[in-house]
Amino acid sequence: MEVFAYLIPYGLEWLNLIVRWLHVITGIAWIGASFYFVWLDNSIRPPAPGSELAKKGVSGELWAVHGGGFYNPQKYLVAPAELPKELHWFKWEAYSTWLSGFALLTIAYYFNAQAMMIDKAVADISSGQAVGIGIATLVIGWTVYDLLCRSKLAQYELWFGVTVFALIVGAAYVLTHWLSGRAAYIHVGAMIGTIMVANVLMLIIPGQRKMVEAMAAGKLPDPKHGQKAKQRSVHNNYFTLPVLFIMISNHYAMTYRNDHAWLVLALIMAAGVFIRHFFNLRHKGRVEWRYPAIGVALLVAVAVAIAPKAPVTMAAAPAVDPAAQFKAVHAIIAQRCATCHSARPTQAGFATAPAGMMLDNEVEIRQHAAQIYKQAIELKAMPIGNLTNMTEAERSELGAWLQQTMQGEK
C-alpha cells in the first residue's frame, strides 16, 4: 500500500513532464505560425495595377528565400477564382496547445490544489472552491471579451484594447486576493489562452469555412468573415507575449509573491504589448523606437520597484553550542521544508524534491542556505502556500542561522 501511495505522485510527475513537453511543442507551433502570418500580412506589397496578379484578385505578394529555396506567397483580396484542391487549415496547433495546457493545469494545480492553489494568508478556502474559481475565470473571461468584441466599442481599436487590458488586470487583481500568487498568475495566463483558442474555434475557423462553402457553391464569399477573423487574429498576436511571460512566471517568486503582484503582472504584460506593437509596425516598414523604449522602461521600473531591500539582520541567537543550534534549525526544516524537499517526500502530491533540492542533512542544508533564505525568509514563498504552517518565530530563528552560515562562507 505504501509503494502504491508513492507511485501515484511519481506517475503524476511523469505525466506532468510529458504533457508539459507537449504543451511547449504545440505552443511553439501555434505561436510560430501566428507570428509568421502577422509578419506576412504586414510585409506583402500590392501588385502593379493592371498586372496579371491584380487581375487575378491578388491584393499582395512577397518573395522570400529560406533553406535554399525561393517562395512567393500571395494573398487574395477575398478569394481565388477557383477553390484549390488542397487547402491547409491552421487550427490544430491552437487546439492542441489549449488541450495540453488545460491538461497540465489539471495535473499540476487541480489535482494538488491544497498545495498549489491555496495560500491561507490570502484566503482560507477549500480545494473545491479554488478549482471552481480557476475554471470560472476561464469561462467568464471569454464571455466578457467576446461580448466586448461584438459591441460598438470594437470599432475603436485603442479604447477596445484599453478595455480588454483593464479586464485582464481586473481578473489578476481578483485572483491574487483569492488564490496563491503562483496560481493567480497561471490562471490569468490560462484565461488569455482560452480567449485566444476560442477566437480560433468560434470565429476564425467558422468564418473561413463559410468562405470556402460559398466558393464551393459558386458564390462570391462575404468579405466580412475574413475581416472578423483578421480582427481576432490581431488580438491573439498582442496576447502572445503576456502569455509567454506567465508560462515562465512560476520560476520567479519575486513577481507573484509581491504585495502588489497584480500590478507587477499588469506592468510586465503592458511591456510585452508595447514591444509586440513595435514589431508589428516594423513589419509594415515603420520603425517606432518609442514603443520598445516604453516597454523596456516599464520592465526596469518593475525591477527597481520590487528589488529586495537590504537584508534585515536577524536577532543573534543566544550563545549556544553550534551543534545544539543546528539541531533546533534542523527540526524546523525537517517539519516545515523537508516534507517536500527530501529524497523521499512525505507531502501528498510530491514524488520528488521540487527543483531537485533536498534538505535531509546538514551538508545539503548548508549547500542551499542562500536559496532557503531567499525563498523562505526574504520572499516567504516557501513552504508553498505555507502548507506546513511555518511560524514567524521559526522564520526568524531559521533566518538568523542562515545569515550566520552565509556570512561564514564568505
Residue 389 CB neighbour total at 10 angstroms: 10
| Each residue's pLDDT tens digit, 237-272 | 999 999 999 999 988 889 999 999 999 999 999 999
| Predicted local confidence at residue 95, as pLDDT | 95
Nearest to 254 by CA among 173, 308, 203: 308
What does the buried/exposed string (b/e) look like for 197-222 if buried means 16 or more CB atoms within 10 Å of the residue's CB? bbbbeebbbebbeebbebbeeeeebe
Q: What is the DSSP letter of 200?
A: I
Residue 55 banded pLDDT, cuts 50, 70, 90? confident
- pLDDT score for 87: 82
Angle at 247 between CA 107 and CA 6, to 5 degrees: 25
Q: Could you tell me the pTM of the whole model?
A: 0.83
Q: Which residues pair with 174 in a beta bridge?
A: none
Q: Is the pLDDT of residue 385 over 80?
A: no
CB atoms within 10 A of CB 361: 12
Q: For the residues of 205-222, what is the DSSP string, one character each?
A: HHHHHHHHHHHHTT-PPP
> Higher pLDDT residue, 78 or 209?
209
Q: Which residue has the cell 523537508?
A: 338
Note the helical H segments in 199-307. Answer: 205-216, 223-248, 253-256, 261-283, 290-305
- Give the percent of the chain with pLDDT over 90: 42
Q: 181-198 vs 127-149: helix axis angle to the nearest 10?
A: 40
Contact partners, residue 340, CB within 8 Å, separation at least 6: 347, 350, 353, 354, 383, 384
Every domain of the chain and the residues it spans: 18-80+88-259, 322-409
Note the pLDDT tens digit of each residue in 282-297: 888 899 999 999 999 9
Confidence at residue 277, expressed as pLDDT on a 0 to 100 scale: 93
Tens digit of each residue's pLDDT (9 = 90 or more) over 334-374: 888 888 888 888 777 777 777 778 888 888 888 888 888 88
Let me know if 385 is exposed, middle or buried by CB neighbors in 10 A (0-12, 13-18, 19+). Answer: buried
Q: What is the mean pLDDT of residues 104-121?
A: 90
Q: Hey, is 345 helix, strand or coil?
A: coil
What's the pLDDT at 139? 97
Distance CA 314, CA 405 (A): 12
Spatial contact of 397 and 327, defined as CB atoms under 8 Å apart: no
pLDDT of 147-194, one tens digit each?
999 999 999 999 999 999 999 999 999 999 999 999 999 999 999 999
